[in-house]
Amino acid sequence: MKKGEEKLSNKLIFYSIVFVLVAVIIFSMFRFVSNALDDTTFWRYYYSRDIGLIASMGQSGRGTLDMQYEMVNAEKPLAFDIYPNNTIQTFEWINSEKNLPTSFVFFGSGETKLVQNRVASKYFNIFITPDKAEFTSENLRKDSCLFLDTKQDLKNVKMYFDSSLNSPDLENFVKTVKQGLLKPKMASSKYEQGIDLTIIFIKGAEDSINFFYDHNLRRNERLSCMIKNKLLEKFPDKFFASRLTKIPDNSIWKRTLENSDIGLVIALKDYSFESAVPIVAGVNEYYG
C-alpha cells in the first residue's frame, strides 16, 4: 500500500471511529432525555413551582387574577393539593391514591385566604382576589387526536374484549360493546393468534378515564383519544382527567395485551349502555 493510500485509510478508520462514538453519545443522550420525560419527577418539579409562583404573584398584586391553567404535558397522571399555608404538593394520581409528592412553599399574603383544595384535572381555574385565592377543577375537553392512517374494514379485524372482577355489570357492558360494532371477527380466547385489537374493561376512579397499554404507543394514543372524545360528547360534564399510561409489569392483563397488535385497558367508574355507545363509536371511527 502506498503512503498516501495508507494515510487515507487511517483517516477513514479514524473518522469511522469518531462517527460511531458520536452516534453512541447521541443515542445515550436521547435515551436519557426520553426516560426523564417518561418519569414524572421533572413534571412534578415543574408544575409545583409554576403554579406556586403564579399563586404568589397573584397574591402580591392588588387586583384580581382570573386565569385558566392548562397542563402542557396532558397525559402525565398528576394532581395538586393546595394548602392554606401557601404549600402546593404535586403528585402522581393513580387509582385515587397519592404517590411521590413534590412540595413547594411559596410566598403569600397574610390578608389573602388560600382555599384548600385538590385539583386533578388537565384544565383548572386560578382565581385570586385580595381576600381569597382558589383553585378549581374544570371538566375535561376534547382534544385533536394524533393523525395516523388506521382505516381498515372491520370485517377483517379480529377483536377480543374482556372484563375483570366477574362483575355482571361489566359482563353485560362487554356484550353491549360487541353487539354495537360493525361485524368484526371476535376472538373466543385471549390466547388466539392474530388478534388486532384487545380492550379490557375495569373499574376506575370517578373523575377520570384511565387507559393502560403495553406497546404500540402511537396507535393506542389515537384510539384512546377517539374513545375519550366520544365519551366527552356524550358526557361533557362528567370527567375531569384522562390518562394514557404504560401498563405495570405485574398487571394480570399484561400478557393479554402483549398478544394483541394494539390493546387498551379502559378504567371507568360507571358502565352502562349509555357509556358503551361512545366507546363503540370511538372504535368504529378508529377503523373507519
DSSP string, 216-230: -HHHHHHHHHHHHHH
Whether the model pTM is above 0.85: no
Residue 240 C-alpha cell reads as: 375531569
Average model confidence (pLDDT) across the chain: 80
Hey, what domains does the chain have and what are their CATH numbers? 41-137 (no CATH), 154-287 (3.40.630.40)
Tens digit of each residue's pLDDT (9 = 90 or more) over 197-232: 999 988 887 678 889 999 999 999 999 999 999 999
* Nearest alpha-carbon partner for 282 in 141, 150, 95: 150
Q: Is the dihedral of CA 139, 142, 144, 148 positive or negative?
A: positive
Q: Highest-confidence range of 43-57, 63-77, 96-110, by mean pLDDT?
A: 43-57
Cell of 9: 485509510
Whether 233 shows a pLDDT value over 50: the answer reads yes
